[in-house]
Amino acid sequence: MGPDILEGLGMIMQPQHIILVLAGVILGTILGAIPGLSSTMGIALLLPITFTLSPVAAIAMLTAMYKGGLFGGSIAAILFNAPGTSAAAATALDGYQLTQQGKSGKAIRMALIGSSVGDMIGCIVLILIAGLIAKAALLFGPPEYVAIILFAFTMILGVSEKSLMKGFLALGMGILISTVGYDPVNGVPRFEFGSMEMSSGFTLIPVLIGLLAVPEAFRQIEEVFLNKMKKNKEEISSNVDLADSKITWKEVKGTRKILFRSAGIGTFIGTLPGLGPTIAAFMGYRSGAKISKDPNYGKGSIDGVAAPEAANSAVASANMIPLLSLGIPGDVEAALILGALTIQGITPGPQIFVNNGPIVYGIYAGMIMAIIMNFFFNWYFVKFVIKLKNISIKIMIPIILILCIAGTFGYNQNMFDVKVMFFFGILGYLLSKFGIPITALLIGFILTPIIESSFRQTLTITDNGLLIFFERPIALMFIVITVITIISYFIKSKKQNGQQAM
């Protein structure tokens, strides 16, 4: 083992490999920060190039791009409420409100700290107990996935505790919208209304950008026409410093419990193939709300930025656990990395540690290097990024809309996606007017295909029986927790209504 570690370190410490890792971080950050683009797209485009690189250099560069992209997505989420990636949608909940308070730099740096801490914890777990956690992940079958996603639904509802019924309504809308298109099992068309374009369903990018970025542009346009911009700027400038980019050690120290707890959630989610950083981010955000002492959580709190960032970034390292140990990719990015390993003639699985030990440890070292580079590059990059907020909103609105259109069209080269984006933009704008949480709708849309597929598989296994959910301990545990959580929400909601009535 010792010689393998030293050989792996020697592989990654070559100058050209260090440059490739830095390039991956920078490119990933830029792609992640542009709505509609993502590090996933960059990894896919660079995949053929990895054939000319050594295995360690290729995987280190791709993982660096993934890590940079996850953080980059939070930049646009915080500055413009336009998440560059779906995993950054939870970060926008508090991050954008901090920007409106003139604290964009503080929010971005807290996101960077949370991202780095979560990523490093996930990486340490990967290195120390990859085999053990991979074996635990084998215990999760379709029934367990159904139970854990039901639990995830209740965690998302907790974000809208003040109006639980509106949360249920939004979640139901997200579930309904996700069913548009062909049935994944028997191919029966659903809710396509005779349209060939709708028969394929709605893809995530136009829905994500439409629900989060476009409504904000509409709201800014509304303020401009109602002559509210001058008043809003005066109110902000009188209370906060628009150039506030400082974050103190005391503030960081105050988030340590949230950071470690969310990183643990992200690490756990990362070991389960198919869930990914988006679910981890929202679960981390909800978990942070329970232990945060900040009364502004949900209204503009650095705790609300730290929690989702630590969770979604922990996935970036933890999803390598099932990939390397079992040959099962945890998400799309891991699947692309699996492709890169295959190109190099390396087969992930239990034997990879025996047959390719130095390469595995070289990959580990490259991941740690990427985390460190991501932190230091973006820590100073923030100074330039926050200056974007000084640009007139009348200039930024068309730029944001153009980026939204370009990102949406570029994803699938399809004008129908642009129409979908504007449709969901109008829907998101109207929902925000009625106080219906867009977050619940979005997560319902994202998770429904996974839970539907898992539930169908469960029914096939049990010949349409449901007793399996009560016969398998892990599934039963999550179902019990879900029921208890829902009951607690209703009890709390009833108490709040009673207090308001008094």
231-254 mean pLDDT? 60
Give the model confidence (pLDDT) of 91-139 as tens digits.
988 998 998 888 888 899 999 999 999 999 988 988 887 656 556 666 7
Residue pair 154/486 in contact (Cβ under 8 Å)? The answer is: yes
Q: Is the predicted pLDDT of residue 375 greater than 90, yes or no?
A: yes
**Non-local CB neighbours of 436 within 8 Å, separated by 6+ positions:** 166, 169, 170
**Rounded to an integer, what distance in angstroms lies between the CA atom of residue 367 and that of residue 347?**
19
113-122, 382-391, 403-412: range with lowest mean pLDDT: 382-391
* DSSP category for residue 181: E
Q: How much of the chain, in percent, has pLDDT values that exceed 70?
A: 82
pLDDT band at 242 (very low <50, low <70, confident <90, very high): very low
Strands (E), 73-221: 181-182, 189-190
Q: Is the predicted pLDDT of residue 228 greater than 80, yes or no?
A: no
pLDDT band at 62 (very low <50, low <70, confident <90, very high): confident
Give the model confidence (pLDDT) of 456-469 as tens digits.
888 888 887 888 88
373-393 mean pLDDT? 76
Structure tokens at 322: 């099932």
Work out the mean pLDDT of the chain and round it to a whole number. Answer: 80
pLDDT band at 350 (very low <50, low <70, confident <90, very high): low
pLDDT band at 489 (very low <50, low <70, confident <90, very high): confident
Give the model's pLDDT for residue 240: 40
Query: What is the number of alpha carbons within 13 Å of residue 442 lying toward its C-beta?
Result: 31
Give the model's pLDDT for residue 388: 60
Give the model's pLDDT for residue 38: 62
234-245 mean pLDDT? 44
254-291 exposure pattern, b = at least 16 Cβ within 10 A, e = fewer: bbeebbebbbbbbbbbbbbbbbbbbbbbbbbbbbbbee
Helices 256-270 and 104-137 cross at an angle (nearest 10°) of: 40
Q: Which of 26-40, 220-234, 488-502 has the highest mean pLDDT?
A: 26-40
Residue pair 203/411 in contact (Cβ under 8 Å)? The answer is: yes
Residue-number span of the structural domain to which 272 is assigned: 2-501
247-272 mean pLDDT? 88
Give the model's pLDDT for residue 469: 87
**CB atoms inside a 10 Å sphere around CB 113:** 22
**Rounded to an integer, what distance in angstroms lies between the CA atom of residue 110 and that of residue 263?**
14
Query: What is the number of alpha carbons within 13 Å of residue 46 lying toward its C-beta?
Result: 25
Written as one string, the DSSP assignment of 79-111 is: HHS--SSGGGHHHHHHHHHHHHTT-HHHHHHHH
Give the model's pLDDT for residue 392: 64
**Helix, coil or strand: residue 210:** helix
Strands (E), 167-240: 181-182, 189-190
**Non-local CB neighbours of 79 within 8 Å, separated by 6+ positions:** 96, 99, 104, 108, 385, 386, 388, 389
Nearest to 443 by CA among 215, 183, 151: 151
pLDDT band at 368 (very low <50, low <70, confident <90, very high): very high
Q: How many domains does the chain have?
A: 1
pLDDT band at 1 (very low <50, low <70, confident <90, very high): low
Give the model's pLDDT for residue 235: 43
Give the model's pLDDT for residue 236: 41
Residue pair 354/1 in contact (Cβ under 8 Å)? The answer is: no
Q: Which of 109-118, 215-224, 277-286, 444-453 has the highest mean pLDDT?
A: 109-118
Give the model's pLDDT for residue 413: 79
Give the model confidence (pLDDT) of 289-344 as tens digits.
888 888 889 888 999 999 999 998 998 888 888 777 766 666 667 777 877 787 77
Helices 89-100 and 438-462 cross at an angle (nearest 10°) of: 170
Q: Is the predicted pLDDT of residue 454 greater than 80, yes or no?
A: yes
Q: Is the predicted pLDDT of residue 243 greater than 50, yes or no?
A: no
